[in-house]
Homo-oligomer: A and B are copies of this chain.
Amino acid sequence: MHVNIVYVHVKPERVDQFLDATMENAHESVKEPGNLRFDVLQMRDDHARFMLYEAYESTEDAVAHKGTPHYMRWRDAVADWMAEPRQGVLYNGHIPDEQEELDF
């Protein structure tokens, strides 16, 4: 499983707009082929810091996400709302795997 953890630090005055745009993106992203997770998390101690948890069955599925209209709309919308460049960290997921996802 291909996991991209994206850390986003948003300008304080843009937090609500960022959350709205990100939820819209997430609701479309979970419908993509191979998507296993697209979770939107907001840090409890600093509401301007978000973590997006994007999990796909394969690297190809994750790459295809970057070509979707909803991703490109999100990317353009949030570009000026960041307090600093967002950072992604790649992980291999041991859980969930495809079989477990079917059992969920």
Which of A's residues lie within 8 Å of B, judged by CB? 3, 5, 19, 23, 26-27, 30, 37-45, 51, 53, 55, 89-96, 104
Contact across chains for A42 and B89 when beta carbons are under 8 A apart:
no
Contact across chains for B43 and A91 when beta carbons are under 8 A apart:
yes
Q: A5-B51, A53-B53, A104-B104 are in contact. Are A42 and B94 (CB under 8 A)?
A: yes
Contact across chains for A92 and B42 when beta carbons are under 8 A apart:
yes
Query: Contacts of A53 on B, CB cut-off 8 Å?
Result: 53
| Identical chains bound together, number | 2
Query: Contacts of A27 on B, CB cut-off 8 Å?
Result: 95
A40 contact from B37, B41, B93, Cβ within 8 A? B93
Contact across chains for B51 and A19 when beta carbons are under 8 A apart:
no
Contact across chains for B90 and A45 when beta carbons are under 8 A apart:
yes
Query: Contacts of A95 on B, CB cut-off 8 Å?
Result: 23, 26-27, 30, 38-40
Contact across chains for B23 and A91 when beta carbons are under 8 A apart:
no
